[in-house]
Structures are given as C-alpha cells and as structure tokens.
Amino acid sequence: MCPVTQPAHPTPPAPPTGPGLTVPPASRHRLTPLLLGLILLSAIPALILAVQRVQHEQAQKTAALVMDYPAVVTQARRFGRDPLDLLAEYQRQGINGVGIYEDVIGNLAQRGEVYLKSGADLRAETGDAAVSPRNFYLRSLKPGVAEALPARYTIPTRTVQVDGQTWTEWPTDPTFLPVGPDEALIGTLKARGFMLVYRPYADDAVREPGADWPDVPFVIFNGEEVIGARTPELLAKINERLGDRVPALIEATPQRGLDTLIATHGAVRTFSVNPAWQQRLDPITLASKYNLAARERSMRLLYVRPYPTINETSDLLSRTSDLLRKSGVTVTQPVIEPFRENTLLRTLSLIGPVAALLLLGLSYPLVRLGLLIAAASGALALVMNRFDPYAGVALIAAVTFPALGLVLRRARVSDWFVATGLSLTGVLFVSALGATKDSVLGLDPFRGVGLTLLLPLLLVAASFLPRQDLRKTIQDVYNAPIKLGDILIMVIAAGVFALVFLRRGNATGASVSDTEAKIRQDLQDTLVRPRFKEMAGHPLGLVGLSGVLPGYFGALLILGGVVGQSSILNTFSHFHTPLLISAQRCFLGLGVGLIAGLIAIQVVRAALHLWRTHGKAPAEVQA
C-alpha cells in the first residue's frame, strides 16, 4: 500500500506567519474556487428559507400568562378572599388565561350537588343491614345528579333504598372519577375575559372521554401520557374530539401519545415550573425564567402557580409582565400556526454543505487522508440521523463550516474574519435543513450536538499534519522529547476542553455556579445573553492567528478558536429558539470576542516582551 505523501497540486508558499509560529501552512486545491462558488449559490435558497423562518417567528411573538385555578382557590381561602376577586386582581397584573381542571365527583360533593358516604359511615348512621361497609354510596342533593353518573362509567352500580332514601351503590370509591367540565365556572371566567385552558383527567372507567370537553382553545393533559395513549382506537377518538383545540407540549415533560395528536393539531409550547422548585426561587428569578421561555424558547403558554403569599405572587406577575413587554412579547391568546418547510428550497440547500465537506477534504496537505476523513465525517453524520438526508447534511454543515475557514487560511489575524464568514454561511444551511415543523416545537432535537464541538477540533487538528509520509509523522511524534511543561500544558488543554464539552447543555454535573447563574440572569433580563464559549473561543483564535506566541502555542490557541466557531453553529442548532434571537446572541459574542481578542494580542505581546527584557541592559535587549 502506497503511503500518502503528496497533495494533488502543490501549495504556493505561505506568507510570513510571525515569530515562532509553527502551524503548518494551509493548502489550496485547484477546485477551491468552483466549490466555493457552489457553496455561495446553494446559500441563496438557504437564505430565502431563513427569511421565511424569521417571518413565521415574528408573527408568533405572543404568549398567554395562564394561572392555575385550583391553586388560586387554595390561596384565596387561606387569606379569606373570594377566588374570583383574587383572580381579577391578578388579571390586572398581567394574567389573561386560567387553567381549569376537569371536575371529579369529589368536586360535586364539595359544591353540595351530591352526598357521598362510605358504606361503613352510612351503616353506622342508619343501622341498615343492606348497606355494605366495603362499598360507597351517592345521593343527589341537586336533583338528578347522582342518578346520571353511572351511565358515564363502566363500573357496575345499583340503586338501593336506605332508611327511606334513594342511594347509588358503588363498589369502589368514586371520589376521583372525572365528571366533565364545570360549565358554570367556565361561563363566568369567559365572561370576565379570560382565555381558558382545559385539563382533563384520564380514567379507564370513563366510557366516552373527550365527548363533553368545553369550547376552549387549548388542552393540557395531566400525567405522563395523553388520554387513550395505550389504546389506538381510543387515541383516534381523542384525536378527533380535540376538534379545533390545540394540545399543549409541556417543556421537559414528555407525554406518551402526544406526537399522534400533534401530527393532526400542531402544538402549543408550554412552560411550567414544578411547585417544589418554585418554592426555592424568588419571584424575580422565576419571572426571568418565564421571560426567557417566551422570548428565546418559543413558549406560548406560560403556566403560572401562585406563591404562598399574595404579595410574592403579585411581584412575580408584575415583573414577568414588565420583562415580556421589554422583550416585545405580546400577552394575548396565541394563534398557533405550524412552521411549513419548502422541500424544493431545502433540496437545493443540500448542495452547499456537501461541497464544503469535499472542499475541506481536498484542502488537507495529505489529500487522500483528507478525503478519507471527510467521507468518514459525512457517513457518521448520516448514521447519527438515521440516514435522513436533510438532518444528516445539517449536521455535516454544523461540523464542516466551523473548521473550513481555519483549514483554508490561518496565517494572519484577518483570517479570523474569513473563518467567521464561513461559519455564518454554515448557519444558513443548518437552519434551512434542520428547521422543520417538529424541530421548531422541540419534538425533533438536533442529533449530534456533541459532535458539533468535538469534530471541528479534530478536523482542524488533522490539517496540521505535515506533507510527508504519515508513518514518518507518527514516528516523529513518538520520538519527540516531551518536557514537564509540555505535559502540564496538555493536561490543562484537555481539562479546559472537557469542561467546555460537559457544559455544552448545562445539564451535567459541570453546571453553572451561583455567581455565573446570577450574571446570566442579569444579562438575559437586559439583553440576549451571548454564549461564554464564543466570548472565550474567539479571543483565543485571534491570539493564535497573530503568531505572537512561540512554538506550538499558536496551534493550541487556534484550536481554541475552533471552539468559538463551533459554538456559532451550535447556537443555531436549537431550532425552537427564534432565528433572530440566536443571531443576536451570536453577534454579541463575536463583537465581545473580537474586541477582547485584539486587546489580548497586545497584552500577550507586551507580556512576552517584558519577560524577555526584564532585568537586562538595553544593549542586551537590542542584541
């Protein structure tokens, strides 16, 4: 087998790279102009799709503040308030929707419509031997209510006479059996201008679930599955009975069977905070999370529960309403329109990332090795996305474009702008190919997020291999003398990368500190928060490209710059985040990173000069 030793075409001499910079010069293939032209042409349909996505998202900048009604009732009773009066107070502070749960038989008993007794209690009261202590008994206080209930369920019941009164005997406790909506309450809330969200209960004993749902725009299912999720025939009925109602997709709460309903009715993204977690957050912090959910994660229903005190709840609502207003989010009843993909434009957008991947492979000093690496990267992206061409090529774009610029050019500081321009071009392809009806809802997340940080580093690092027999390179690396300082630097670099990789989603043990969390909250309450990986990665890349550092330090810092470029594409891979929000975050990171990098170059240059000249006479320095 012949070793890979020469590129297809010789590379012109590289320009001066500064003192001590040992990064191998970039290669240039004769097909580079043609492939760049294909990338730019393919970017046109991708740009059109990006504009269409922005137009769709701008029309969706509405959200509803929905208050949990049972929680308001509990709070009002603790303070001797009428629940509807307290709700009206919260309405003036921003609440425009109310979450209403389906009634259960226990609610009918509380409202005095039926009388529910255990068999043991009823027998003790009446002494009637016909009463079974193991059963339960219902009697109407409002005419006809108890008698109408058995027809709703598959539970066998019978009518008995006890002490001259008619009771319905139940073999199980019926307290929590769903009985449909409280129409009187719903009518009252609608008359007061509230948008209603209905929350039905699932129970296998109900004969026709969903047959009497009220006329409301949204339905939130309780628990870990929707009604009928275990029975295809029942799920089909629920799907039909939803009618024009839109099911809620609750953040971080997957529900079995919901995907079937969403395929027909779409979904409204919903943000809710677990009551136990809410108690650990102050109202200002919680308000920031609701604002972030609406502004940056396309949450259209903000489901709110009151705090133990009325003052805390008022602070939460006032702060949330203020933040939403500053973010340009209108509090009203959301109108849900599904995101629509354009198949023709998406297909044309496939060309750009494939051309970029080919160009990347051809630009390696060892062309055959480069093409092998490019082919392996493309195959991995397709496999990770189950051979879906659009999702697979979106991942190809996300790992190729951050590396392409620094493989093509890395001789001077201005090459950072070329790398950034190519990364931003890659953004168009990632959005065009990855943004679908399901992905913008968060149902179909971007597959390969970890690769978007790891693979570009490897792709750029592989381009550092010298133009010689690969076996000789391996031998040179093996025989290279390693100093203790080299080991220390490698350990630090590996540790930094591991931290960046683990922190890619803030969902691991390497989460943010309290101080960083406070900084993030302050930033996101005033503007869109830039990503810290970009604010750190871009300065590293600029310092590395400047050539001010000797030896292999420049190469290490260029790899650090790849992290900044990768983070750009990573930012835009969160399709549930509006495109303009991701763009604001990206350009803030670029601006801060550029300024910090230019300053860092001068600081490093001055520090190195001081290191070399400290304690020396002027004549020694000049020599």
Summarize pLDDT for 115-125 with one digit per residue, the tens: 999 999 999 99
Query: Contact, 29 vs 359, CB < 8 A?
Result: yes
Query: Contact, 337 vs 56, CB < 8 A?
Result: yes
Report how far residue 281's alpha carbon sits from residue 159's, in angstroms, rounded to the nearest whole number.
Answer: 52
Q: How confident is residue 618, by pLDDT bands cut at 50, 70 and 90?
A: low
pLDDT for 239 beyond 90: yes
Least confident of 17-21, 71-75, 102-106, 339-343: 17-21
Q: How confident is residue 27, by pLDDT bands cut at 50, 70 and 90?
A: confident
3-state secondary structure of 205: coil
Selected residue with higher pLDDT from 237 and 551: 237
Type and span of the H or E element at 161: strand 158-162
497 alpha-carbon distance from chain centroid: 22
Q: How confident is residue 529, by pLDDT bands cut at 50, 70 and 90?
A: low
Angle between helices 389-408 and 415-434 (to 10 degrees): 180
pLDDT for 220 beyond 70: yes
- Per-residue pLDDT at 16: 40
User: Rounded to a whole number, what is the distance in angstroms from the first to the last CA of the chain?
Assistant: 52
Selected residue with higher pLDDT from 40 and 607: 40
pLDDT for 1 beyond 60: no
- Per-residue pLDDT at 7: 45
pLDDT for 256 beyond 50: yes
- Per-residue pLDDT at 2: 43
- Per-residue pLDDT at 470: 78
Average per-residue pLDDT for the chain: 88
- Per-residue pLDDT at 12: 43
- Per-residue pLDDT at 621: 55
- Per-residue pLDDT at 552: 75
β-bridge pairing 158-162 and 62-68: unpaired
Summarize pLDDT for 384-405 with one digit per residue, the tens: 999 999 999 999 999 999 999 9
Report how far residue 599's alpha carbon sits from residue 593's, in angstroms, rounded to the nearest whole number.
Answer: 10
For 13, phi then psi, to 5°, come to -60, 140
pLDDT for 501 beyond 70: no
pLDDT for 18 beyond 60: no
Contacts of 427 (CB under 8 A, 6+ apart): 401, 568, 569, 572, 586
- Per-residue pLDDT at 503: 57
pLDDT, average across residues 277-304 = 94
Selected residue with higher pLDDT from 86 and 5: 86
pLDDT, average across residues 357-361 = 96
pLDDT for 442 beyond 90: no
Q: How confident is residue 548, by pLDDT bands cut at 50, 70 and 90?
A: confident
Summarize pLDDT for 561-586 with one digit per residue, the tens: 999 999 999 999 999 999 999 999 99
pLDDT, average across residues 212-221 = 97
What's the DSSP call for residue 225?
A: B
- DSSP labels for 459-517? HHHHTTS-SS-HHHHHHHHHHS---HHHHHHHHHHHHHHHHHHHTTSS-SSS---HHHH
Contacts of 160 (CB under 8 A, 6+ apart): 130, 131, 137, 166, 167, 168, 169
- Per-residue pLDDT at 252: 84
- Per-residue pLDDT at 500: 59
How much of the chain, in percent, has pLDDT values that exceed 70?
86
- Per-residue pLDDT at 494: 67
Selected residue with higher pLDDT from 268 and 496: 268
pLDDT, average across residues 332-342 = 92
Q: How confident is residue 549, by pLDDT bands cut at 50, 70 and 90?
A: confident
Helix intervals (H) in 134-227 = 145-148, 183-191
- Per-residue pLDDT at 537: 86
Selected residue with higher pLDDT from 416 and 21: 416
Least confident of 157-161, 229-233, 498-502: 498-502
- Per-residue pLDDT at 507: 42
Selected residue with higher pLDDT from 431 and 13: 431
Summarize pLDDT for 40-81 with one digit per residue, the tens: 999 999 999 999 999 999 988 999 999 999 999 999 999 999
Selected residue with higher pLDDT from 528 and 420: 420
How much of the chain, in percent, has pLDDT values that exceed 90?
68
pLDDT, average across residues 268-283 = 94
Nearest CA-CA partner of 244 in 269, 217, 205, 262: 217
pLDDT for 23 beyond 70: no
pLDDT for 528 beyond 90: no
pLDDT for 255 beyond 80: yes
Q: How confident is residue 10, by pLDDT bands cut at 50, 70 and 90?
A: very low
- Per-residue pLDDT at 533: 77
pLDDT, average across residues 103-129 = 94
